[in-house]
Amino acid sequence: MLKLFLFSLGLLGFSFMTEAIYSQQNQPNHSDPVRQTVRNIGNNNPIKQPTKMLYPEIVAEVNGEKITRDQLAQESLRNHGEEVLTRILHRALVIAESKRQNINITREDADREIDRLVKVTPPGNLTREQYLEIVLKDNKMTYQDYCDEVIWPRLALQALVVDKIQASPEEIEKMYLSKYGPSVGMQMIACETKEKADEIHAKVVADPDSFGNVARDESIDTITASNKGRMQPVFHYSFPDKEIEDRFFAMKPGDISEVIGPYPPNNYYLIFKCENQYDPTIPENQVDKIKELLKAQVSALKLQTAADELFKKLLAEAKVVNIISDPELRKQYPNVAATVNEQPIWLESVMDMCLKLYAELDLDTMISMKLIEQECKKVQLSITDKDIDTDIWIRAAETSVPLPDGSPNIQEYMKSQLAEYGLNEKVYRTNIVWPKVALQKLSAGLVKITDEDIQKSFEANFGEQVQCLGIVVKNERTAREVWTKARTLPQTENRSAEEVFGDLAAQYSLEPGSKQMRGRIGPICKNGGSPIIEEEAFSLKPGDLSSVVQVDPETFVILYCQEIVPPKEVTLDEVKESIKSDLQRKKEVLAINDYYTEVIKKATIINYLTNQTKTPETRTVPTNVPAANSTMNPNAVPRTNL
């Protein structure tokens, strides 16, 4: 949580850049006159030992095979070199521009900034010592490093764009309302034509209580239709269309809108019903504290935007040659990553920073890859480029909109995948697709689909379901208290049981989605993965309150049955092949997990970076698993998207 917040403030983006620049001073003494100029970038930091030399020559052993420091360094450079070089370039430009504008950041400035960050970093109640302990441990830095390499560049950047990052009271209030202010619970029906919308509008206006059932049966927006048209609560400034949002807040519970449309992007015709109005979610005595945190977030967002604009300007004015990304230039200048105004940034510096940022993560990946390679050698299995191309083709066909000729849009699929993983294509194919394909082939014999599997999946996807409200709490005492209120308050306060349960869910439930939706959860089906919840749900009738269900030692669930959803009108024969295909894909994932788990159990792994040893006897699973890993519950029957 803290690390993500620091990243949002623009802190981590500059981590370790000073060391990368100044470690250039440890390079061999070149006669190039540019060399002296490089030394003068930035302030007088002490010369530091290259990061690579801080690691042992052998960083790991996997079943007797060694992984060397140089191999790890090359892997980190291959995976992160371009990204890290960009950070170094940005840092160099900030340093140079700060010097040009005579911006001077003192130690007192850094101390004050740290004190400010302590106050605005969630949860907002950390001491200075606690904050620094977390930050320095997460980033493996000393206090001096943190001031020089994180706080200094941030303050310098702030000083360069100070006129663009101030958060106005209006901006803070807008963000507060969009996250914590009053909200409205809305239901929606979407229709393809105006005629159909007018017909449905007349029906629900004549019988407002039927709106939810009509939405379920008639709306073409399947996401909301599955929950009787219910949308996520709408906050101020959170809906894409401000005019429609204003209409929502002008409606009272029970009001039904006129037909609105055609509404982009699908040009549907929409009908809305106001189900409820909710008060702000933050207690009055916490508002000022929350707004102080939001002020920091607004400034951080503006700082990122201003920084991007500044870097574009500085890059346009500077003469930058990116050598690391150009194969021909790399041959000519093998020791240089880039030049800025004819001043070199040495490749060794980039490699050092890659190691400092990613060494443990990359080593975990290399250990996993080594294990899979060893398994492939045992059975003489070779994964070719064609195998990788075929897997990409299949995934693109399954997940992307096809081209006009019906073929998969591989280019669009790859674009989304590279953005998701933050990798270039070569690394994606090697580190993501290769191990997945290899494990699929190695575990192929473990995949078995029985008639019972197909029947259970059919029941899960097309059988009867129970629509419930749910409350999740962490101890039995609270569960009993909530259950008693759910049973007694409807009579004592003369309110409907469903309304009372929704209020209790908003107050007590620990599950964020159901809390925000006043207990709304998806329909419960058979064979969905939680037998104890399913058994309880299918024992209820509409209007029934469940018993307190203990799911695990710290999870207790209470259900309120709203309705029984009848099975879909489809036979097993009509969907059998689709179910079988879907089960095949999902059982492949489970088989991969099982196979890899067995490989780990039998392996002897020594990680010299973390000083951890795993033998077949200890059965300690390393922190990293291959990209094909899934958190799927092996006891659950996967639900299809049919």
> If you average pLDDT over every residue of the chain, what do you get?
83
Alpha carbon distance 429, 422 (integer Å): 13
Q: Give the dihedral sign, CA 512/518/523/528.
A: positive
Amino acid occupying residue 25: Q
Average pLDDT of span 525-538: 91
State the pLDDT confidence band at 21, using cuts at 50, 70 and 90: very low
Q: Which residue has the higher pLDDT, 17 or 182?
A: 182
Separation CA 507–CA 519 (nearest Å): 10
Tokens encoding 479: 């569960």
Dist. CA 244–CA 570, nearest whole Å: 38
Helix (H, G, I), strand (E, B) or coil at 159: helix
354-358, 484-488, 505-509: least confident range: 354-358
> Is residue 300 helix, strand or coil?
helix
Beta-ladder partners of 340? 320, 343
Please give the Cα distance from 349 to 370 (Å, whole number): 27
> If you compute the radius of gyration of the chain from its CA atoms, what whole number of angstroms results?
29
Residue 110 Ramachandran class (φ > 0 left, ψ -120 to 50 alpha, else beta): alpha
> Is residue 379's pLDDT more than 80?
yes
If pLDDT is split at 50, 70 and 90, which confidence band does 514 have? confident
Lowest mean pLDDT among 43-47, 65-69, 225-229, 408-412: 43-47
pLDDT tens, residue by residue, 269-291: 999 999 888 888 777 888 888 88
Tell me, what's the pLDDT at 26? 35
Neighbours of 407 (CB within 10 A): 11
CA distance 397 to 403: 10
Q: Where would I find the beta strands (DSSP E) of 248-315? A: 260-263, 268-278
pLDDT class of 446 with cuts at 50, 70, 90 = confident
Q: Give the range among 48-62, 260-274, 621-635 with minimum mean pLDDT.
A: 621-635
**Which of 2-6, 365-369, 387-391, 458-462 has the lowest average pLDDT?**
2-6
Q: What is the pLDDT, as a whole number, of residue 437?
A: 95
What share of the chain has pLDDT > 70, as a percent?
88
Read off the pLDDT of residues 609-639 as tens digits, 9 standing for 90 and up. Answer: 999 999 996 654 444 433 333 333 333 333 3
Whether residue 48 is predicted with pLDDT greater than 80 in this model: the reply is no
DSSP string, 328-390: HHHHH-TTEEEEETTEEEEHHHHHHHHHHHHHHHHHHHHHHHHHHHHHHHHTT----HHHHHH
Q: How far is CA 529 from the centre of its chain?
A: 23
- Residue type at 631? T
Residue 172: which region, alpha, beta or left (left: phi > 0; alpha: psi -120 to 50)?
A: alpha
Task: Supply 102's token pair.
Answer: 């005579």
Sequence-distant (6+) residues with CB within 8 A of 396 are: 408, 409, 410, 412, 413, 414
Find residue 65's DSSP bridge partners. 62
Distance CA(185)–CA(519), nearest Å, equals 12
Model confidence at 391: pLDDT above 60: yes
Cα 594 to chain center, whole Å? 25
At 431-443, the pLDDT tens digits run 999 999 999 999 9
| pLDDT exceeds 90 at position 528 | no
Q: 524 - beta bridge partners? A: 466
The confidence band for 50, taking pLDDT boundaries of 50, 70 and 90, is low
* Residues 6+ away with beta carbon under 8 Å from 624: 361, 364, 365, 367, 368
pLDDT class for 264, splitting at 50, 70, 90? confident
How confident is the model over 163-176, as pLDDT tens digits?
Answer: 888 888 898 999 99
Q: Which residues pair with 336 in a beta bridge?
A: 346
348 with 335: CB under 8 angstroms? yes
The answer to whether 525 and 534 are in contact (CB under 8 A) is yes
Q: How far is CA 114 from CA 146, 154, 166, 254, 539, in A?
A: 10, 11, 18, 51, 56
The more confidently predicted of residues 36 and 471 is 471
Overall pTM > 0.95: no
More confident residue, 352 or 145: 352
What mean pLDDT is predicted for residues 121-136? Answer: 83
d(CA 374, CA 63): 9
For the stretch 400-421, pLDDT in tens is 788 888 899 999 999 999 998 8
Q: How far apart are CA 220 and CA 199, in angstroms?
A: 15
| Residues 6 or more apart whose Cβ sits within 8 Å of residue 51 | 19, 23, 352, 353, 355, 356
- Report cis status (omega within 30 of 0) of the bond before 542: no
The pLDDT assigned to 30 comes to 37
Question: Model confidence at 52, in pLDDT bands (50, 70, 90)?
Answer: low
- Give residue 638's region: left, alpha or beta (phi > 0; psi -120 to 50): beta
What interhelical angle do 476-492 and 497-508 show, nearest 10? 150
Torsion of CA 602, 608, 613, 616, to 10 degrees: 10
Name the more confident of 538 and 106. Answer: 538
pLDDT higher at 164 or 562: 562
pLDDT band per the 50, 70, 90 thresholds, residue 109: confident
Question: What residues contact residue 548 under an 8 Å CB cut-off, 6+ apart?
Answer: 476, 479, 480, 483, 556, 557, 558
